[in-house]
């Protein structure tokens, strides 16, 4: 299974805001430069994150985005689930009516177990965990506000 760029970039967007928020609100232009993602794509990704209150917008000359929740309270699984539009790795897991065979599907249990295993892992990793590990094993000290 592959995660969409929406989930991967959304996770990077959230992590970038978390890591750089010491200096105040973060502008999408700055995130776009650091993450090498187009501003237009980030504008699309930020909408559901804002609706779900994972980020808040700050208006004004020094406006931009800040986290809506502490980094210790945001998991990668939550971000992926939100941006992928659900938790099932197969559409039929969340909408069994779309498949005529869902009630007698011999592989459905495998897809359910795979989905559960993936989200169990993703839900165990917070933005704070990613910040502390700094992507390369070196620990940095970030407090959870």
Q: Which domains does the chain have, with CATH numbers?
A: 5-133 (1.10.10.10)
Instruction: Tell me the pLDDT tens digit for each residue of 14-73.
Output: 999 999 988 899 999 999 999 999 999 999 999 999 999 999 999 988 899 999 999 999
Q: What is the pLDDT of residues 77-130, one digit of tens each?
A: 999 999 988 767 766 666 666 676 667 777 778 888 888 898 899 999 999 999
Q: Global pTM? A: 0.83
Q: Name the nearest CA neighbour of 112 among 125, 94, 130.
A: 94
Q: Give 138's pLDDT tier (boundaries 50, 70, 90).
A: very low
119-124: long-range contacts, CB 8 A cutoff, minimum separation 24: 119/77, 119/80, 119/81, 119/87, 121/77, 122/75, 122/76, 122/77, 122/80, 123/75, 123/76, 123/77, 123/78, 124/75, 124/77
């Amino acid at each position: 299974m592959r995660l969409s760029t929406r989930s991967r970039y959304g996770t990077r967007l959230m992590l970038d805001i978390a890591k750089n928020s010491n200096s105040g609100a973060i502008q999408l232009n700055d995130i776009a430069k650091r993450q090498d993602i187009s501003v237009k794509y980030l504008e699309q990704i930020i909408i559901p994150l804002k609706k779900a209150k994972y980020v808040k917008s700050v208006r004004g000359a020094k406006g931009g985005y800040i986290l809506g929740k502490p980094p210790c309270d945001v998991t990668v699984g939550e971000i992926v689930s939100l941006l992928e539009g659900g938790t099932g790795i197969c559409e039929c897991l969340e909408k069994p009516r779309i498949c005529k065979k869902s009630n007698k599907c011999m592989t459905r249990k495998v897809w359910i177990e795979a989905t559960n295993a993936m989200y169990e892992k993703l839900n165990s990793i917070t933005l704070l965990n990613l910040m502390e590990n700094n992507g390369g094993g070196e620990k940095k000290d970030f407090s959870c506000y």
